[in-house]
Amino acid sequence: MTYVVIDACIRCKYTDCVEVCPVDCFYEGENFLVIHPDECIDCGVCEPECPVDAIKPDTEDPDGKWTELNAKYAATWPNITVRKDPPPDADDFVDVPDKLEKYFSEKPGTGD
């Protein structure tokens, strides 16, 4: 089992989650973070840290869509362990629907 980041994170990317992970298993894209499913120890401490409720246990991902996406990008994006400022317009994207289809970027972030 693992926790996964879902589309609510896209363009919000508050990064409060990365500070609490005991195994540093978050990876940074240009406008999204992912969790490496093979590194996550399922401790659950990151879940309540996200202000937009973008972290879920994979038990809430029955078809594996988010687990697959997290695994795919965790393999290539850089590791992030320290909180950084969110995008300046992050608050404008909190309740925006269809963020995966409209805004998801495959580009890597800068990591730390």
Binding region for ligand SF4 (CB under 6 A): 3, 20-21, 23, 25, 35, 40-46
Contact indicator for 24, 87 with CB cutoff of 8 Å:
no
12 binds, among ligand SF4, ligand F3S, none (CB under 5 to 8 A by kind): ligand F3S
Contact indicator for 54, 9 with CB cutoff of 8 Å:
yes
Residue 55: beta bridge partners?
5
- Told to check if 34 binds ligand F3S by CB under 6 A, we report no
For the chain, helix (H) and strand (E) counts, in that order, are 3, 4
Q: How far is the CB of 30 from ligand F3S (least distance, A)?
A: 12
What tokens appear for 19 in the block? Answer: 């500070």
Instruction: Give the binding site for ligand F3S (CB under 6 A).
Output: 5, 9, 12-17, 33, 49-50, 52, 54-55
